[in-house]
Structure 1
Amino acid sequence: MNSNRVWAIARKETLQIIRDTRSLILAFLLPMTLIFLFGYAITLDIRQIPAVVADYSNTTHSRELIRKFTNSGYFVEIERTNLPERVTELIERSKAKVAVVIPVDFANQLITGTAEVQIITDGADANTTQSVVGYTSQIISQFNLESIERQFGGRVSVSPINLEPRFWFNPDLDSQNFLVPGLISLIMTILGSLLTSLTIAREWERGTMELLISTPITPLELAVGKLMPYYIIGIVDLFMAAYIGIAIFEVPFHGSLWLLFLFSSLFLLAVLANGYLISVVAKSQQLAFQLSLLTSFLPGFLLSGFLFPISSMPTMIQVVSHVIPGRYFIEVLRGLFLKGSGLELLYMQGLALLIFAVAFSVLATHKFRKTIE
């Protein structure tokens, strides 16, 4: 492989990226926009749920229970009413996601141990409903425990079980700690597959690729020269996104920067080779975009464990996820950021990324050689 020819191709590709506004936006502006958008706007921690309260008891005990709901941080009381039809209206109009209904004889029921509180939720929003059930159970359990302690003067006949949960690696259960490492993988997938396939496919459309083929340069030299600028951009984007995640969103990083660089390089080689393969097959920007979306972005978003746990997917989909490079890279990123995992725990994921990088590179080079012939 002639290094002079490789550097010449790399320099040409770099100048082309600099002159193309769309390429610059895809390379730098889009990744940073995504990480800020996901970091600030998207969260799996459901809080400030709008609630309507119907307190038909209006006693000290009922008001105390309502205070526990509003002070929890999970619910925001938007209205208090004694009209059942008003509760129905607010739920139907989606102005309230939950209604807390306390019956008239709530205080007497507390004394006899038969107190009931009705929780009405908007089941159309299943995710919020599941959170509401968990939050209300927690609040009412705490209220029950305090009521028992007051009733027995701080002495209960049976000691309650004291549950002490410990959340390793993410003590506050902050969803940003979960999302940001996965988002880095998604950003590098977009850069490596989408940007690479579009820019190289454009050369096929313009006919400049045929001019390159007619020169003495070999398919391998052409591939290396073409992909080198995108690799450098990818590494820059990686550390920019990691810095934003750590400095702005306060995502902890407990691992090794060298391991981050090593595994990111393997993943970048895999997605870059995949993007190069797509451009060779497609030869048009429209088709390259569609293929990148179907083979890289959507699988990387849906089947990599970025948002949805793979263990909850159907068995067949779990099998398919094994051929998604992003699955292994996300495991690496979360291991490095949150757990401080070392090579002894991540070598299998690294081996998988290496196999993907080699396989896609061989396929892309072979397909390009067949195209020339």
Structure 2
Amino acid sequence: MSLRRLIAMAYKETLQIWRDPRSLAIALLMPMMQMALLGYGVSLDIRHVPLCVHDEERSQASRELVERFVASGWFSAVRLAGSERDVRAALDRRECSGVVTIPVDFSRTLARTGNATVQTVFDASDTNTTNIATGYAQGVIAQATADFGTRWAQAHGLQPQTFGAVDIESRVWYNEGLDSRNFIIPGVVAVILALVGAQLTSLTVAREWERGTMEQLISTPVKPLEVMFGKLAPYFAIGFANAAFCLLVTVYWFGVPFRGSVLTLLAITALFTLVVLGIGYLMSVRIRSQLGASQIALLLTMMPTTMLSGYTFAIEQMPKPVQAVTFLVYARYYVTMLRAVFLKGSPLADIGWPFAALALYAAVIVWLSVRAFRKHLD
């Protein structure tokens, strides 16, 4: 491989990028737009769930219970429902996601026994929100019931029952605030790199065919390996610059904690960038249309990265056959390593398995790309 020919090919591709406004727009504008949209738009946290209240008693105790729901930060009281018909209508019109019904004998039962029943109804058309909100509601009601029971026992001169109670001391590591942004934002970097990198390189060789310059390229003494690395070198620089931008935004704008090594982060990012660029280049070689190559590259990068990499959905919760398929998704390994480096501060030795898998992926993609390029017009 000649370094001189490789540099000449890289210089030629750099001029093509500079003269192509579409490539420049993809390279410069898309990362910023994607980072803003995905960074602010994707969240697994449940806050201020709209809640309707059907308070049949309207007593001090019932109002206190409603105030506890609002004070928790998980719910916001929207309106009072006057009847069960209003409850159903509010859920049907999506004015609220859940309804708390406090019975007419709530205070009387509470004063007599120290316990009472409260009904909660949630709209389960959104199962994720419903499951989380139900747990939150049970927690609020359990705490309120315990406080009411303690007060009732003290009012009757009784000792609150503590026999057999178990105190739970919970600690959370790596994401102490349970902030889903710390879990999601590192994966956004993988999505942006996969999308931008593959889209850019999917146009490289296909552009030569459509513009009629492939004959000139074939007539030169440049070798297939030199063509590939020469064409990918400018895009690697662009992709790495985009990655650096996204990672800086992740840490300094979104405030995701970074506990690992910068060198480890750069190493895994460089490897992942090589994989996505190689996939785009391979599609550009095999498909001689820029439109067709970009569409196939989009299909091979966007869908697997967003759905099967663990970026939004936990792989452990997927069906076993789908879990097996995820081992073929290169973004799975990068997302796993990103989260480990960011949140756990894992060194390269601790992420050896996904790093080796991604390195093998890169080697296979490079081998296929070199074999796919042939210096003939057939």
Which runs of no fewer than 5 residues in structure 2 stay unpaired? none
- The 5 A counterparts of 1:105-254 are 105-110=105-110, 111-153=112-154, 155-158=160-163, 160-254=165-259
Q: TM-score scaled to structure 2, two decimals?
A: 0.94
| Amino acid in the other structure paired with 1:45 | D
| Equivalent-residue separation in structure 2 for 1:105 and 1:43 (angstroms) | 40
Aligned to 1:22: 22
Q: TM-score scaled to structure 1, two decimals?
A: 0.96
Aligned to 2:283: 278
Q: CA deviation at 1:159?
A: 5.3
Aligned to 1:305: 310
Aligned to 1:320: 325
**Matched pairs, number:** 373
Alpha carbons 1:148, 1:156 under 8 Å: kept? no
The Cα RMSD (Å) is: 1.6
Alpha carbons 1:193, 1:276 under 8 Å: kept? yes
Q: Structure 1 stretch 244-253 or stretch 83-92: which is displaced more?
A: 83-92
SS for the counterpart of 2:79 is: strand
Q: Structure 1 stretch 163-172 or stretch 215-224: which is displaced more?
A: 163-172
| Equivalent-residue separation in structure 1 for 2:164 and 2:289 (angstroms) | 71
Q: CA deviation at 1:197?
A: 0.6
**Structure 1 residue runs of 4 or more that deviate by more than 4 Å after TM superposition:** 370-373
Alpha carbons 2:308, 2:332 under 8 Å: kept? yes
Aligned to 1:52: 52
| Equivalent-residue separation in structure 2 for 1:95 and 1:201 (angstroms) | 52
Q: Identify the match of residue 330 of structure 1 among 311, 335, 339.
A: 335
Q: Structure 1 stretch 5-14 or stretch 157-166: which is displaced more?
A: 157-166
| Equivalent-residue separation in structure 1 for 2:115 and 2:376 (angstroms) | 78
Aligned to 2:76: 76
Structure 2 CA distance for partners of 1:227 and 1:151, relative to 1, 3 Å: same
Per-residue deviation, residues 304-351 of structure 1 (Å, max 9, x unmatched): 101011111111111111111100000110001000001120111111
Structure 2 CA distance for partners of 1:220 and 1:199, relative to 1, 3 Å: closer
Aligned to 2:42: 42
Q: Structure 1 stretch 237-246 or stretch 85-94: which is displaced more?
A: 85-94
| Equivalent-residue separation in structure 2 for 1:360 and 1:157 (angstroms) | 64
Which runs of no fewer than 5 residues in structure 1 stay unpaired? none
| Amino acid in the other structure paired with 2:149 | I
| Equivalent-residue separation in structure 2 for 1:6 and 1:310 (angstroms) | 41
Alpha carbons 1:280, 1:367 under 8 Å: kept? yes
SS for the counterpart of 1:152 is: helix
